[in-house]
Amino acid sequence: MNAKINNRGQSAALIATMMIPILMALVLVCDAGLVFQARRWTQSVADLSALSGGQQLNATRFDEDNQVKLRLAAQAAQDTCRVHNELNAGLAPTVTCVATEDVNARTVTVSASTTVNTYLLQLFLGAGNSSLIVTSTADAEFVFGIEDEMDQ
């Protein structure tokens, strides 16, 4: 009954087996943080570009020349995205914006996207291409003002 049980080294084995799930969780958290940061960044660029296009839409009344005004609004959104990329070169991911106009709905839709490289996931899993494309959208719509409603 006086047999001594040697428990030495049991914690080392437990720690060694738990290191793999802990490292996988760390990789997931770091890469997910990069993806969520890029998502917030692209959404802010899309919102800013749509706001710029919306200001162009609301600058003048809608009349027979709706297509031209929507095209100008889409161009203003594209220009805002381009200037944003120039000002933040090297500090933030480059965002690609596509502004489309819909004459019937009187809207300009801005779609902003960027590519996120998941470095840790690539190293840990040995994946060949571990980049993700993050996309955000924003709309700007012409809304009738009081003067426009009174004219109709």
In a domain, 3, yes or no: no
In a domain, 2, yes or no: no
**For residue 140, is it within any domain?**
yes
Domain count, the chain: 1
HSE, CB side, 13 Å, CA atoms: give it for residue 7: 3
> Does 149 have pLDDT greater than 60?
no
pLDDT digits (tens, 9 = 90+) for 123-148: 766 666 678 888 899 988 877 654 54
| 17 and 107 Cβ atoms separated by less than 8 Å | no
* Threshold 0.85, pTM exceeds: no
Exposure of 124 by Cβ count < 10 A (0-12 exposed, 13-18 middle, 19+ buried)?
A: middle
* Residues spanned by the domain of 48: 10-151
Residue 5 domain-assigned (yes or no): no
In a domain, 4, yes or no: no
Domain presence at residue 142 = yes
